[in-house]
């Protein structure tokens, strides 16, 4: 049973560029959440997608946007990259309303130069 799959593993982008990160949830999960983790910090909630809609959003600017597809996979898009966007981006999947907690992927390491 495949867990959460994220791609790419690592990415280097130039300031001002745009980036797209991808996530496939664990089989049976229908909800995807995205987190940003800066070095030495805990993960910060970006947003959550369920039924192809953004359901909740953390304190992130509109440069961060996302999408969820009918197969429950999701994309995170970041426009006009800043140096401060350099971080580990984590995707977590869950089943809406279940008690079984979240399953995380291995993350995408984004470096903005």
Partner 1 sequence: KQEVTQIPAALSVPEGENLVLNCSFTDSAIYNLQWFRQDPGKGLTSLLLIQSSQREQTSGRLNASLDKSSGRSTLYIAASQPGDSATYLCAVRSYSGAGSYQLTFGKGTKLSVIP
In the complex, the residues that contact partner 1 under the rule CB under 8 A are: 4, 6, 33, 35, 40-45, 48, 50, 55-56, 88, 90, 92, 96, 99-107, 109
Closest distance to partner 1 from the beta carbon of 29 (Å): 13
Compare residues 8 and 16 and give the one whose CB is closer to partner 1: 8
Closest distance to partner 1 from the beta carbon of 80 (Å): 26
Closest distance to partner 1 from the beta carbon of 4 (Å): 8
Distance CA 108, CA 52 (A): 22
Q: Cα 2 vs. chain centroid, distance in angstroms? A: 18
Closest CA relative to residue 29, chosen from 81, 59, 74, 66:
74
To which residue do tokens 């994220």 refer? 6
């Amino acid at each position: 049973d495949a867990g959460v799959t994220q791609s790419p593993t690592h990415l280097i982008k130039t300031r001002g560029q745009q980036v797209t990160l991808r996530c496939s949830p664990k089989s049976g999960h229908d909800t995807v959440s995205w987190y940003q983790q800066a070095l030495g910090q805990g993960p910060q909630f970006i947003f959550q997608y369920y039924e192809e809609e953004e359901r909740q959003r953390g304190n992130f600017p509109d440069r961060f946007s996302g999408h969820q597809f009918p197969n429950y996979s999701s994309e995170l898009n970041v426009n006009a990259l800043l140096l401060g966007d350099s971080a580990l981006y984590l995707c977590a999947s869950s089943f809406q309303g279940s008690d079984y907690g979240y399953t995380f992927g291995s993350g995408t390491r984004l470096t903005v130069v």
